[in-house]
Structures are given as C-alpha cells and as structure tokens.
Amino acid sequence: MPLPTRRARAVAVLATCLLATGLVAARSTAVSPPAAPRVGHFFILMLENKSFSSTFGPGSPAPYLADSLSARGALLREYYGIGHVSLDNYIALVSGQAPNRATQTDCARFTEFVLTEPKLNADGQAIGTGCVYPTMVKMIGDQLEAAHLTWRGYMEDLGNDSTKESASCGHPTIGSIDSTTNREAGDVYATKHNPFYYFHTLIDNKARCASHVVNLRQLEADLQSVSRTPNYVFISPNQCNDGHDTPCVDGGPGGLAQADSFLKKWVPRITSSPAFKQDGLLLITFDEASGPPGQDTSACCGEKGLPGQERPPGWTGPGGGKVGAVILSPFVKPGTVSNVPYNHYSTLRWVEDNFRLKPLGYAKAKLETFGADVFGR
C-alpha cells in the first residue's frame, strides 16, 4: 500500500478517535447538576441586631437557634445584612431597594419618597429619598399576587393598642411621627419592622392591605392546612421577642435569650404544619449586625449603594455586617454548613427564582442564591 494512503487512513482513524472522545466529553459536560427543589411555602422569620459571633459563637445566649436548629438544617456562615439601621434591611428583603437617607434612620417621620429621577434606573432603583415608595416601585407581595400566589406579613402586637396603630392597615399618617417608636407593655410592635407599609402599591388599597398584613396570632390558624398557608410568609416578632430590646419594657430579659424562647414556641408550630412538611422552607436571620466595637458594616456579594446618597449603605461602611442564617426544610440535610456569601438581596432573588418571578431592584444583580451548598446534590 502506498505511503500517502497509509497516512490518510491513519489520520482518518485518529480523527475518528478524537471525535468520539470529544463527543463523550461533550455529553459529560452537558449534564447539568440537579435543580434546586421547588419550594411551595416559604417562611422568613426576622430577628434583630446581632452579629454572627454573638449568635453562633461559643456560649451563645441562643442555644436553641445556634445549636439545635443549626443541627437540624443548614447554617449559612457568610450571610450579611445590607445596611444600618433596621428599616433599610427589611425593605431590601421585599423589594431590592437600597438604603436611602430616610430609611437609614428608620423613618421616625413617615414621609413620602421624593423622586429626583422620574424612572427607575437600570438597576431597578428609585432615585431619591424618603420612606413610602411610589406605585412604580413594586415589592414581593405585588409580584406574588400577579402570579396568582398568596402571601401574608405576620406582625406580633400589631393593633394591640388601637390608639397607636390599627390592626387594619394601621400605618402612620403620611408626614406624621411614627408613634410605634413608643414602647409599652403589651404592645411592642414597630412599623419599621413591617416593610409592607412602605409601599403605596399596598397601603393605597386599605382592604387589600388589611388582609395581607395581620397580627401574628393569625398565623396559628393559617398553619392548620396547606390551603390556608400562604406561599410566602413574613414573620416579625415584637421588639422584645426579636432580640432588639434589652431589657424589655415589660421586664423581660430581651436580647438573644428572649428571641430564643420565641423560636422555641413558633418554630415547632411552623415545622409541624402540613404546608411546611409538604414543600416548605423556613429562613431565620437578622436584619443587621452589631459590634463590638461599634457596628459591623462589612458586606458581601458586590453590594452597591443608592446613587446620589451621601452615606454608604452601612452609614459608615458598605453593608450591614455578618449576621448568619439558618434554613430548615424537608429538602435540607441536617447538619449542612455553607460558606457561600449571601445577603438580603440574595434571599429576595432566590424567592423570586423559586416562584418564577422577575427580580426586583438589586436582586437583579449577579448573585449567588441557595443551591447545592444548601440543598445538596
């Protein structure tokens, strides 16, 4: 056989082998990892003002959260707040809007958000400052209803003292001082821990507002069946039970010890509910970190501030500090530990992805969301 023919055949055989190898490689790389489970009932329970080292470090005053619940689910060691003080974190969780000068001071006066630009910018941010966002700014409740899904915010003590706030969409009057900054025994509710009242899309329809933001007492009844349990549940304890006050106006210890007692009461009610057992996920986290010394203003995840603001999101730094979080779910292997960085925008993005919704505000950014590190493979 002539030499050129032999060469041609050798080249052909080699090419065939390489092609076959390439095809096998292509097939192996094309196999995607299993998708995260589709959660049908999401619960978020917000606590207040504690750093990761305080809550989850040695000798934690909250052993039920730090030890028992972490062992039953996933501990997110690198979870961050996005600002200081409280309200800006809550608003970020439900809308992706960044801190502005008014929300950074908890909107002690319930003012309108004053726009300096007529449209949302490319990041979905309303440019300006103030408390109550105009109707062009949407929040997670608006998205869920548009997708024919259900939601409720459960606010402990809401309406307990009707002279301060009504249980039926009892937000402060626009332009007035927020009277819920005054604590009293039996009513330690705070508007600043109820993010839904800061959106005209909700408060302009009082009946809708009253049906979606209710006293925490209603949750026990709503947990009795899958059909009654909302797809999205946002829980704000009062300012004693969320760890904010130390001590409390009623003489309770407050701080992490009282927050831990609150969790011992409510977490079993949630996790034993039919909806949670079927397809639920409970996230327990904190709005922002504390010191010492001073406040932790660290950040993660490429967090950006709001253009035109004189202060960064953490007032003196880029973010709200490291707080940590715990996730409980039938889809999560007990004892899971994640070191993937997350923040409140990441949570909003995961919720929106899970329910097939378009991301809002800074949830549009390139963010890690709960995946194989939490749910396994």
Cβ atoms of residues 334 and 72 within 8 Å: yes
Maximum Cα–Cα distance for the chain, whole Å?
A: 104
**According to the model, what pLDDT value does residue 292 have?**
61
pLDDT in tens, 128-163: 999 999 999 999 999 999 999 999 999 999 999 998
Average pLDDT along the chain: 91
| pLDDT tens-place string over residues 296-311 | 999 999 999 999 999 9
Is the peptide bond prior to 334 cis by the omega test (within 30 degrees of 0)? no
N- to C-terminal Cα separation, the chain: 55
What whole-number distance in Å separates Cα of residue 344 and Cα of residue 319?
A: 11
On the 0-12 / 13-18 / 19+ scale of CB atoms within 10 A, 101 is middle
Q: Which pLDDT value is given to residue 15? A: 42
Q: Give the Å distances, CA to CA, from 143 to 88, 95, 186.
A: 20, 10, 34
| Spans of the chain, pLDDT less than 50 | 1-34
d(CA 16, CA 20): 6
CATH entry 3.30.56 includes domain 41-375: no
Rounded (10°) CA dihedral 126, 127, 132, 134: -50
Tell me the backbone φ, ψ of residue 80, rounded to 5 degrees.
-125, 145
Give the model's pLDDT for residue 295: 83
What number of other Cβ atoms are within 10 A of residue 266's Cβ?
23
- In contact, 124 and 360? CB cutoff 8 Å: yes
| pLDDT per position as a tens digit, 11-67 | 444 444 433 334 333 333 333 344 678 999 999 999 999 999 999 999 999 999 999
pTM: 0.90
Q: Where are the domains of the chain?
A: 41-375
* DSSP letters for 135-191: TTS--HHHHHHHTT--EEEEETTTTSSTTT--TTT-PPPTTSB-GGGS-BTTB---G
For residues 220 and 227, what is the distance between their CA atoms, to the nearest angstrom?
14
How far is Cα 224 from Cα 44, in angstroms, rounded to an integer?
18
